[in-house]
Amino acid sequence: MTARFTKFGFDEKERFMLFLIAPAAIVLACFEIIPILIGMNASFREWSLVNPQRTWVGPKQYIAVFTDPVFLKMVLPNTFVLTIVSVGVSLALGLALASLLNRPFFGRAVVRTIILLPLTIAPVITATMMRWSFNDQFGVITIFLSYLGLPDVAWLSDRWPSFALIIITDIWIWTPWFTIILLAAMQGLPPEPFEAARIDAATPWCIFRRVTLPMLRPVIIVCVLIRAIDAFRTFDQVWILTGGGPARSTEVFSVYAYVLAFVDLDIGRAAAAAGIGALIMLFVGVGLYRLVNRSMEVS
């Protein structure tokens, strides 16, 4: 047998594999790795677009971000609250809707299509729709709520109503995503454990809690992992609905970095903020990933 190695040490099969990988690797290098390296470099420099000296300043930008009261008192809490509440509520609603759609009833296909509709609309459009719907003077929902006799709420003028609207929009967009994935997972579960539970005198709630949920656990964790990372970098809904206002009170991570980079034109500080965000996401991601692995092993 003749070993056909080139001077680079790759045989024909390995060269073919490299050839297949090359396009993706080039794209990844050009649009991910190199920009990350440039960004990391920028985060250690004074790099204002107004006066691009690119002076090496060490960790100064990181310290500035960490000592910025807006970052500590608004951006970080907002980002975490948005992530936790949006993911938590979307998951709960998604589970409820998936359980409902998993039962046969008349018109199930129609209901399933309707539930999926928000997912088919671009988040920017959904956010615009929400903004108009909750408009203080002529928003349909505002009018409807006042018709019900509820007190008027200045949805987009105060911090918490504005932030609640951001969360509601995010939940509105992402609940169908949870629903469809969990429904597919539910339909893939073997029927026998559920039949055994019925014979074992388990109530529907007990079956859901003690049989369905544990069996769905790996899928739930993967969904939460993907969605949590995505929620952490939410930008479009916030930008369209409030632009981070009023008075920067609804700013989240992406908006904070965006404002630094493209409003204040401070690329160095923005890169440091983005770097901190990436690190937080990395820690959260690794933690959740370990959970996924453990639950996959159990399953």
Partner 1 sequence: MAEVILQDVVKKYGTFKVVHEVNLNIAAGEFVVLVGPSGCGKSTTLRMIAGLENISAGTIRIGDKVVNDLPPKDRDIAMVFQNYALYQHMTVFDNLAFGLRNRKVPETEIRSEVTRATQMLGLEPLLARKPFQLSGGQQQRVALGRCIVRRPQVFLFDEPLSNLDAKLRAQMRIEIKALRERVPTTSVYVTHDQVEAMTLGDRVVVMKDGWIQQIGTPLQIYNRPANRFVASFIGAPAMNFIGVELVEELGVMSAHAKDFKVELSLDQAAVLRKHGAKTVTLGIRPEHVRLGTPTNNTGSSFTGVVNVTEQLGSELVIALNVGGSTIMASRISPETEVSPHARVQMWVDGKELQLFDDKTEIAIR
Q: Verify binding: residue 141, partner 1, rule CB under 8 A.
A: no
DSSP H helices, 121-212, are 123-133, 140-147, 159-187, 192-199, 204-207
Q: Verify binding: residue 200, partner 1, rule CB under 8 A.
A: yes
Q: Verify binding: residue 195, partner 1, rule CB under 8 A.
A: yes
Within 212-231, which residues bind partner 1 (CB under 8 A)? 214-215, 217
d(CA 269, CA 127): 28
Of the candidate residues 101, 211, 240, 274, the single one contacting partner 1 (CB under 8 A): 211
Nearest-approach distance from CB 196 to partner 1, in angstroms: 4
- Return the axis-axis angle of helices 267-298 and 213-232, rounded to nearest 10°: 170
Q: Verify binding: residue 291, partner 1, rule CB under 8 A.
A: no
Looking at the Cβ atoms of 181 and 215, the one nearer to partner 1 is 215
Q: Verify binding: residue 203, partner 1, rule CB under 8 A.
A: yes
Looking at the Cβ atoms of 211 and 231, the one nearer to partner 1 is 211
Q: Which of 49, 69, 48 is nearest to 57 (CA)?
A: 48
Q: Which of 240, 265, 263, 260 is nearest to 250 (CA)?
A: 240
Whether a cis peptide bond, with omega within 30° of 0, leads into 123 is no
Number of residues that bind partner 1 (CB under 8 A): 20
Binding segment toward partner 1, per CB under 8 A, in 32-40, 84-92, 140-148, 194-202: 194-202
Name 266's bridge partners: 48
Looking at the Cβ atoms of 4 and 198, the one nearer to partner 1 is 198
Nearest-approach distance from CB 186 to partner 1, in angstroms: 16
Helix (H, G, I), strand (E, B) or coil at 250: coil
**Buried b vs exposed e over 244-270: b needs ≥16 C-beta within 10 Å?**
bbeebbbbbbbbbbbbbbeeeebbbbb
Within 151-190, which residues bind partner 1 (CB under 8 A)? 190
What are the residues binding partner 1 (CB under 8 A)?
190, 192-193, 195-203, 206, 210-211, 214-215, 217, 298-299
